[in-house]
Structure formats: structure tokens, C-alpha cells
Chains A and B, each alone.
Chain A
């Protein structure tokens, strides 16, 4: 079973991501509507993958990535940033902070599922 945390301040976007990945066998989804909620959930439960928006109220996506990389128990957790900010500067900053993958919106369900399948294969059980 793979525990996936989906973080985005838009409910519709979270549901879109879940809809794309629902067919992944054994995947269980937890949703967080802000960076702060994401950090709370990461502190309480073990996840196998985080899908993360960048621009959110309170704590932004980059800060969440930095939080993950600063924790001994979460350091190896794959984090994929999914954002509308496709410019190269944003990508560089996010990857420098420690994100595992960077994907821009819009995406196709197939492309997202393929990326996630790859990440779960690479980093299953990496989180707390």
C-alpha cells in the first residue's frame, strides 16, 4: 500500500490529482489544503510520496520541501512539485531546495500517473 499526500490549496486541483492516480493499485490518498497542514500530516504519519503545489497560503511549497529535507526521518521521501509556474528560475529554486521532480500544469492523467508510478517504485517506504 502506498500512502500519498496531495497538497494544494485548490480542492478541485487536489481531486484532479487523486482522480488521475486512483487506478494505482493500493494507493491511499491524504489531502492537505495548505503547507502548514502538510507539515502537520507529515509529522503524524508515514507517507511514500508527496505531491506539492508551490503557491499556497501560510507556508509555500518550497518551505515544505525544505522542511522535509531537514528531517532525518523524511529526508529520502520523494516530493514532486506540481505547479503552473513553469519558468526555469522557479524550477531551479525548487530543485535546489530538494524536490525530487518538477511537473507543470496542465498535465495529462497518463503523464502524472507515469511519473508517480516511477517515484513510488524508486522511493517506496522512504518516508517516516
Chain B
């Protein structure tokens, strides 16, 4: 027990600290604690009492003495540590203190101790003081009976709940709710109409987890005010979830709610209560509306979504449970609503084949808000008709890039039938560059045979993005025509087009024309062209280009140097490996790390000393790379270095060492 520090003088605080130390010793220094029961400070004595109470049997005599004879006893009630189990002499001794003959403060203390220690034999004594004239005693006894539990503890608590005494009824509600006993339901239900107790009674009914609690709570829906209605909704959902968890009458709550009298009025009341509700309350109200069903419930759910798009998930679940009628309302609201409502409702449209669904979503493509248009495109990706495809292609010309991007995504998700092919080809003829770009992307994605010539032509489009999309698509055609068009683009005046062309060549079948163009691209003025050329030549695996790629290790652009090191790791032969080993000793940390990865991946014999050296580098990222790369090497030295890295100062290196050891494990003897 730590006394309220602000109530202590410096001397008192020092003595309280000594008490704390004595109570923490093993075994507890009972004699020393007892000696301090005469401390002049009430707060210090309180700490002593708490320490003795926590000590269980060894301290019981002292504890009983102080509870019985000292006036300053409150510490015994405020212990924070869970008390040791009271048994042997302790439980009966403390139980005796709970007799109505003692001072009220003594009884309250004893009740607290017995409750916290869950002394089942004390139920009789505690029941006897539940109707003690002192409210604090009664409340302590009720709380103690709640902690102890069991059938015998419940009757006095039910009596207290019905007493009409605020300081007894209220604690009794909490105990009844936690009891989970069917007998608790009736007294709790009786208090649902008393404004002083209704909220706590509703919560307690939910907590009982008894099927019989559903009916009184559901009945309260037709008469409670907004604030109580929110509490009742939470309680019903709590009850529902508890019953579901136990598979005990799992439909009791939903059945009780749907059977509520005046369902239409109840729906409207629930909808009204949602205004001003917090998120958990709103979610509960949505679930109730879903159970109630009908047009009114659907309308209320839509209002809730309008007021708070954050409630969409709960409302969507409820609306789905409501079926066709709700779906029709959602679609009407989509057609007629503003941008905010549409943003909230579009995620609720799951079946575009439902009557009116596609039309409602298509209407959203005309919304002035680009976020709505993009979301409508994404919604249409769930499947749509020719009409929907036409609308999506029209969106390729949208001035907002995110809308056009969403339209392309939706078209690509449509599967690529004849209509898509025809519309994509037509888009390439558009005067609008966005439409041509989208058309090229779609043709590239599906690689329609009829698209080849059009993509070749698009390589001369005045727009950079269209040419890039066309070149990307041509890489998917295993045709001389396509390769020739890509090769031609490697000399295009635009840096972006040359980079796109060289990148596309990396995916083409390597032939002498291709590799020659890639080798020439290593000297291009654009770093990104040189970068893609390194990548492509590495993938081609032709050792004749090792020298040219190795020369790029000295490229002024960092990304090119790294790409060159990665490419050399893929090229066979001493030249490539020698250059890679040199790069692994470079001062440029990024190049060094790429080369270290490369020498390990290529299985170069001389890799081990380089990696061991790098494992001791001052730069943690280099150490991390070395440790990770060592996992590819067998042998005791590699294993030792990885184990040593388990003690590295840097978290990332230690983590890499753990992963490296795990990766090596299957190879261990």
C-alpha cells in the first residue's frame, strides 16, 4: 500500500518507504511491521495495516488486532496488492470481525478483506451485515459477496437491489450483472424504469449473459429516452455477443428485438439516438436496426451513414442483413445524394447485377467530386455491362489522374473481352491524350493481337506517356515487328522514351540486335537508360558484355553503379567476378553493399574474407548486408561471424543475424 504521497510530510514519507521495504522482504517482517502500528502518523499506520493485510496468515493476529482496536484503519480497505489466500486461523478470525456487534468501520474493513480473499465460508457473516444500518458497511458487504460469488451470496444482494436505498441498490446492480445468474434478471429488469438506476440496470442485464435478459431490454427500446436507448443498445449487443460465444440461445436477442412492438417507431427512435452517439454506441444501434428490419430501419441506417461515414461498416453489415429493400434505398440514395453521401454509400454496393445498381453507380461517374468518380470506377471493377465499360473508357479522359487510373484498373479487372478490345483500339484514335494513354495501357495489359500495329504506331505519339505505355505493351508481343519498333525507340530524342524502350528490351528475346542496342545504351546520356541497360544485360547473361557493364561501376549516377554490380553478379566468368570483388572493396557504401550481395549470390570463392571484413564495418547497413549475405555461405567462419553479429549494437544487424542463422539451419549437420 502506498499512501497518498501528497498527504505525507517528508518524515512520514520516509517511514512509509521503510514499511514498504519491510512488506517486500521475504519472509515478510511481521514483527517489525507490528511494532510500527504505533506510529504517530495515520498515513504510516495505514500503510502498516495494508502490509499486514497483504501478508495473509503470518500477520493475521496483528491484522485483526488493528482492525478491531485502532480507529485509523482505512488502510486495510485500500490495499492494492491481491491478498494472499486467507486460510487456517486467518479466515475465521477475520470473519468474526464482520459481526454486526463491532464498530461499523471494523466490519467494513473485514468485509473488504474477506471479499478480496474470496473466503467462501464468510458468505453467512457478510449476508448478515448487508442490511447493517451503516451504508458504507452494507456496500462493502455487497461488494464482498459479489467477489466471493456462488448461489448463497446472491439472495442478500437481490434484497439489497430491491431495498430502495441508493448506496445499497447501486453496488448491488453491479454484483447482480456480474453474477451471470438467471435470478438476477428480474430485479434488474424492475429497475429499468427508474431514472436513477436505469442505465446501470441495463448494463448489468447485458452483462448477465442470460437469454431471459433479452426481453426486458428489448421492451425498453420503445420507451427509453435517447441516452438510455444508447445504453440499452450496447447492453443488447453485449448480451447477444455473450450468448453467441457460448452458443446459448444465440438468436435470443435478435429475435427479441425484431419482435419489439411498434417496430417502425422503435426504428425511428434508434435512428434519432444515433445522433450524438459515440462510435461503439452507433455501431450497436446499427446492429439493432439490422435486427429490426424493414424500410424504416433501412432509412435510419442511411441517415446514420450520412451523418458519419465512419459508421459505414456497421451500417453496411446491417443493410446487407436487410436484403433487397435496403439495397433499393441505398441505390436511390446514390442516385440522388451529394458527394459525401455517395462516398459513404458506394462501398455498400456489392452486387452490380441487382436491379438499378449499375445505373446508380454510373450516375456517380458524373459527380463533380473526383474522389466520388474514382470510387465509382473502383466499384464498377466488380463486374459490369458493356454500358459500364463504355463509361469507364470515357473516364480515361478525366482531368484527374486518379480517376483515369481507377478507370484503367476497373477495365483491366473486367477480363478483356471483345468489347474491351474494340473500345481500347478506339481510344487510341482519340484526340484526348488521356484516352490514348489509357487505351495503350489496356491494349498492353491484354496484349490483344489486333493491338500490335496500333501500339507500334503509338510509339510515335506526341505524348511521352502514350509512347511509354505502347513500348511497355510491345514487350509482351514475341514478334519481330514489336522488337523492331522497340529498337527504333532506343534512339528516340525523348529520354523517357529511350528509357522505356531499353526497359522493354530487357523483356525481349535476346538476339544480336537487342544486345547490341543494350550495349550502346550503356553509354546513353540519360542515367535511367544506362540503368535499364545494365539490368537487361545482366539478365541476358552474356559474358561478352562483362567489361562494358563493369565500366559502369564508375558511372557518375549512383543507381547505375548499383545496377552494374547487380548485373555483374548474374554474368559468368572471371572478368565479371573480378570486377565484382573490386567493387566489394569500394568506398562508395551503396556500391559496396550491392557488390557484397553479388559476390555471395554468385558463389564466388573469394567472397568469404570480403564478407567477414564487411561484417566489421563501421557502417551498420554494410554490416547488415554482410551478415545477411553470409547466410548463403557454408563453413564455420561464416557461422561464427553471424553468431558474433547477434551482439551487434544495431538492432537491424542483430535481427539480420537471427534471420541468417535461421536461413542456414537446414544446412546444418
A51 within 8 A of B: no
Interface size of A as a range: 20 to 34
Q: List 13 A-B contacts (CB under 8 A).
A: A12-B143, A12-B171, A15-B200, A16-B166, A16-B170, A19-B170, A19-B200, A22-B195, A55-B78, A60-B4, A60-B5, A62-B7, A106-B135
Interface string of A10-24 (1 = CB under 8 A from B): 011001101110110
Report whether B5 and A63 are in contact in the complex, using a CB–CB cutoff of 8 Å.
yes
> Knowing A15-B170, A15-B200, A108-B166 touch, does A54 contact B135 (C-beta < 8 A)?
no
- The docked-state distance in angstroms from the alpha carbon of A49 to that of B209 is 36
- The docked-state distance in angstroms from the alpha carbon of A48 to that of B136 is 29
Q: Whole-angstrom distance from the CB of A109 to the nearest CB of chain B? A: 6
Q: Which residues of B contact A62 (CB under 8 A)?
A: 4, 6-7
B446 within 8 A of A: no
* Contact among B4, B42, B78, B166 for A89, CB-based, below 8 A: B42
> Knowing A12-B170, A105-B136, A106-B167 touch, does A54 contact B4 (C-beta < 8 A)?
yes
Which among B6, B78, B135, B227 has the greatest number of chain A C-beta atoms within 10 A?
B6
Report whether A15 and B199 are in contact in the complex, using a CB–CB cutoff of 8 Å.
yes
What is the interface of chain B, defined by CB distance below 8 A to chain A?
Answer: 4-7, 42, 74, 78, 80, 135-136, 139, 143, 166-167, 170-171, 174, 195-197, 199-200, 227
- The docked-state distance in angstroms from the alpha carbon of A20 to that of B199 is 11
Q: Whole-angstrom distance from the CB of B81 to the nearest CB of chain A? A: 12
Q: Which residues of B contact A61 (CB under 8 A)?
A: 4
What is the interface of chain A, defined by CB distance below 8 A to chain B?
Answer: 11-12, 15-16, 18-20, 22-23, 54-55, 57, 60-63, 66, 84-85, 89, 93, 97, 105-106, 108-109
Q: Which residues of A contact B136 (CB under 8 A)?
A: 84, 105-106
Q: Is the interface of B mostly helix, strand, loop or mixed?
A: helix
Other A-B pairs beyond A12-B174, A22-B227, A60-B4, 6, CB < 8 Å: A11-B174, A15-B170, A19-B197, A19-B199, A22-B199, A85-B74
Q: Whole-angstrom distance from the CB of B349 to the nearest CB of chain A? A: 38
Q: Which residues of A contact B170 (CB under 8 A)?
A: 12, 15-16, 19
- The docked-state distance in angstroms from the alpha carbon of A60 to that of B4 is 5
Q: Which residues of A contact B197 (CB under 8 A)?
A: 19
* Contact among A11, A55, A97, A109 for B196, CB-based, below 8 A: A109
Q: Which residues of A contact B78 (CB under 8 A)?
A: 55
* Contact among A12, A18, A93 for B7, CB-based, below 8 A: A93
- The docked-state distance in angstroms from the alpha carbon of A22 to that of B96 is 40
Q: Whole-angstrom distance from the CB of A99 to the nearest CB of chain B? A: 12
